[in-house]
Amino acid sequence: MRVTSSGTAWYEETPPILIVDGVWASVQCSSEDFWEDQAGHIRKLRHAEDRVILVAMAVWPDGTQTVLHYEMATQESEAAWSLFFAHLWQRGLQPYSVKLIVSDGTTGLPKVIRALFPLAKHQCCITHKVRAMLRHLGYGQLSYLDAQGQELSLPEAKKQRYAQIQHDAYAIYKAPTWEGAVISFLVFERKWTDLEPDAVRTFINDAALTLSFYHFDESLHSLIRTSNAIERLFREFRTKADDIGAFPNEESCLAIFFLVLRRDHAKHDRFKNHGE
């Protein structure tokens, strides 16, 4: 993965695919209130507030991934994403050259994508889609026998249902073609609707947005049907953020995020050089 500065660098090329997402952190902010310390000094009262780092990662035709830009916002709103993409435009990104944008189910983002990237398809992360479905499981009409006919306890039966429907959901996206995936969706719906109506209803809502990756080269499918590439960076950042607690200011938060990017970049280069 290549990492570019989040400053004023000008983009000489526009990537055909963007993966966008945000990661939250706690930042100390000043308020209008004051307090007096033990030495009698009057200081501004500070308190922790949640902030989100919005991130755009490029995926190039050869599969190379590049973190293009990141910036801090107060929320993942339509206005915040619009401003974020406006900054990308100012640095040379050509909106009509972007063919696909991958994201999770962030509210407000789909409308921004439609408005600002008229030629781009929207790919909803299949991992987020499946996880959202699993949160709606009702565990009705459970089977208390496993595949070998052995009796199961209630927790074991629930675990079996969870594993079975999760397996069937992910299997849809292993179909070699878009048409095959659509057929798999219909089979899934027929199999599970009576048992898990709420989960299936959640899963099939806007299901077409999870199949946009089929319009691109098969070699890219594993990279663009999820936002996992960017989530990997977020997991490492969250580990650092948990150790720190509340960052003293926004600048320190962004500095740690940049160091996480650099570390991931270095690990990628070591792996690539070793492979060669």
Instruction: Read off the pLDDT of residues 197-243 as tens digits, 9 standing for 90 and up.
Output: 999 999 999 999 999 999 999 999 999 999 999 999 999 999 999 99
Instruction: Encode pLDDT of 42-87 as tens digits.
Output: 555 567 899 999 999 999 999 999 899 999 999 999 999 999 999 9
- Does the pTM surpass 0.85? The reply is yes
Structure token digits, residue 10? 């000008």
136-145 long-range CB contacts below 8 Å, 24 or more apart?
Answer: 136/196, 136/198, 136/199, 136/201, 136/202, 137/161, 137/162, 137/165, 137/196, 137/198, 137/199, 138/196, 138/197, 138/198, 138/199, 140/195, 140/196, 141/194, 141/195
Q: Is the domain covering 2-125+227-275 a CATH 3.30.420 domain?
A: yes
Average pLDDT of every residue of the chain:
89
Quick one: average pLDDT of 249-269? 86
Ranges 15-24, 198-207, 219-228, 264-273: which has the least confidence: 264-273
Q: Please state the rounded mean pLDDT for residues 22-34.
A: 81
Interatomic CA distance for residues 164 and 151, integer angstroms: 17
Residues of the chain with CATH 3.30.420: 2-125+227-275
